[in-house]
Structure 1
Amino acid sequence: MTYSIHPMVVGSKVFDKGMMTYQQNYGEPYTIPIYSWLVKGGDKNILIDTGEMHPIKSDDREKALGGPIVTFEEGLAKHGLTPEDIHIIIHTHLHNDHCENDSKCSNAQIWVHEKELEHIHNPHPLDFRYLEDYIEEVEENGQINTITEAEKEIVPGIRAVHTPAHTEGGMTIVIDTAEGKVAITGFCIIDENLNPPAAVKGMEMDVIPPGTCTSPERAYNIMLQVKEMADIIIPLHEPHYASVERIG
């Protein structure tokens, strides 16, 4: 079974680029897209993350990203779908900007790592991005499935791999496509993290850890492992994909 991946920009953030690139680019304004990734191919409509509920739309942000910002419903409608048509949601992690639309998908089975559930219900004060309000309804409805393994096949050709670089329960999603294996990283990075500029490589660094990470050293090593997992690696917040209709 092979699939195609369709990026939907359902939110954005404007902040210091150093939030993406550990110990690099501080003081440089940067705009990132927040994606929900629609996966087509089998008999199930599958999403990787669900993005923001109320995305800010502005000409400045869309120009910075190079593509349109849409609501969750608008993004799905372009593919002839509604939130109720979604069968499966797989979460890279449960920071709010990755799960705000879960409750709209009343027919979906939702897959998350067990450590994400632990952290969203009992977050450390430093990790304010966990907001349990966004998952309480789907949890009460029995829609959540927890992953405890290091690797879990969700459906044939799609597997979730535990990669705790950005959060303790972060998962990288590996998808079989006609162009080879595609990995959507389970940590918040841009392309520069995976392909550092010459100045960084000159420091003998092959990758740049996420600006927010569980441990810089562990994140660095996990990123090297993820780079070997697939033929195509998609950084979770890389702006390039805002203008891409299809991967795979």
Structure 2
Amino acid sequence: MSLRIHRMLSIPGRRLYSQQHIPPRNWQLAGHVPPTSLLFDDDAAPVIDLSEDEPPSPPNKCPAVAPTPEQWRRHREQIKKTFPDGWNPTRKVSRDAMDGLRSLHAFDKDTFSCAVLADKFKISPEAVRRILRSKWEPSREKRGRLAERERRSREEWIAKRRQEEKDRAAQILSEARQDDNPRPHSRSSRVKPRTSSSSSDVYPSRRAKFKILCDIFRLVRGIYLHDPIVCANAKVDKRRLTCHC
């Protein structure tokens, strides 16, 4: 057992949790004397400037040099005068919020005063006083109808947004498919060349082309063989010979 432990400890590169794993640092600087710092050098200059030689980098945005225009200054003063607390518009309070407001005020009137409730619910103190003075509460049936209407309106709004997202996604997908696979041009959209004569004369059918070529071949063959019968039988229309086939 002791031999096994000795072998484990003698293995190079073996790491143990009980040892400190810091690599040895031997920079071989024992025979070299470190240079004297300028701060402790008596022969150096009495005043040492430790500032940077290069100037500091300029800021990204230069501050405004010209004063604020008169119309902007008057507008800013009027806004501060009209809204001393900043932009804090009045808000509508739901029926559940009204019930919670009444419950908080009934729980502790000193802690949840009108000013505190107006500040927390973002409404005017007069609205808080009117809510606390009002004793009307809807019946259980009407409360259920109101809750059902709110739930239905919320579900309709969510369904509408989902449908809009689906339509937008389908439109984007169709546009991507059209870009990947362009539609071939239809026959009606092809540009037709301008013709001075009828289409039957300018664009003969394949059979007419073949017949013209056969007549020309027979005529050339008869001329080459000096066969008057072939030349007489080869009926070639000058109009068909001059057509663009």
Q: In proportion to residue count, which structure has more strand?
A: 1
With the length of structure 2 as denominator, give the TM-score of the two structures: 0.16
With the length of structure 1 as denominator, give the TM-score of the two structures: 0.16
Which structure would you say has the larger Rg? Answer: 2
Q: In proportion to residue count, which structure has more helix?
A: 2
Structure with more relative contact order (C-alpha pairs < 8 Å, separation 6 or more): 1
